[in-house]
Amino acid sequence: MAETRVPTVIADGLHIVYRVHGSAAGRGPAPSALGRLLRRRRSPAVREVHAVKGVSFTAYRGEAIGLIGSNGSGKSTLLRAVAGLLPPHEGRVYTDGQPALLGVNAALMNDLTGERNVVLGCLAMGMRPREVRECADDIVDFSGIDERGDFSSLPMRTYSSGMAARLRFAIAAAKTHDVLMIDEALATGDAGFRRRSQERVRELREQAGTVFLVSHSLGTIRETCERTIWLEAGVIRMDGPTDEVAGAYEEFARGR
């Protein structure tokens, strides 16, 4: 019997262009910009960075899709566009449900403790206060931030970047998302945390979500995703089974 595949994200000829103000070449660093401001000269031209160039793909429910490519190839930009955080310059993104971009959607506050951030992050994801009370301790345990001391009662600014990334992941992963996008989060943390997060990604997929994972670690991509999209200079180079795409990318990276 043919399985019905349910699309969750469709990108159709998507172009994303950043507009960088006050960045004309040869205008010098910040002090000269300040000088221009004080002298009330005309602001320099706006420069455009065409980060994603005509990307099209369809993601289906139950898929975990890896996004790979060289630095600056447009992976994070694509995720932000799918999450609705960047407007398309051309083309469209259709999504079923609200995509959650891990690490960006979670509005964590540096001056608040990890515990308070767990509560705020869960409420921001639409959980009820009772649900938050029930899962708050599990989130802290999952993140592992208390493994070397009582860090959950300290302000987030005292955390290492890895600890903060783990807490963000733990908060976002506490809820089932229609579309969950993870940017490098699995690459942070120790082996124990990586194993826990891979298991959680698998559970989230079984709960009918779609997971996108951006990582420079092909090991993580191979362990987590069966499909991979390779972006290069804003264009899809390859989209297919992870083994094939990761293999071709490794060859490309070796040849550079």
Interacting residue ranges for ligand ATP, rule: CB under 6 A: 18, 20, 49, 51, 69, 71-77
Q: Smallest gap, in angstroms, from Cβ of residue 189 to ligand ATP?
A: 18
Least Å distance, CB 220 to ligand ATP, is: 14
Q: Which is nearer to ligand ATP, 84 or 97 (CB)?
A: 84
Residue with smaller CB distance to ligand ATP, 67 or 179: 67
Q: Closest approach of Cβ 122 to ligand ATP, in Å?
A: 27
Cβ proximity to ligand ATP, 74 vs 99, nearer residue? 74
3-state secondary structure the chain: CCCCCCEEEEEEEEEEEEEECCCCCCCCCHHHHHHHHHCCCCCCCCEEEEEEEEEEEEEECCCEEEEECCCCCCHHHHHHHHCCCCCCCEEEEEECCCEEECCCCCCCCCCCEHHHHHHHHHHHCCCCHHHHHHHHHHHHHHHCCCCCCCHHHCEHHHCCHHHHHHHHHHHHHCCCCCEEEEECHHHCCCHHHHHHHHHHHHHHHHCCCEEEEECCCHHHHHHHCCEEEEEECCEEEEEEEHHHHHHHHHHHHHHC
Nearer residue to ligand ATP within complex by CB, 9 or 119: 9
**Rounded least distance, CB 51 to ligand ATP, Å:** 3
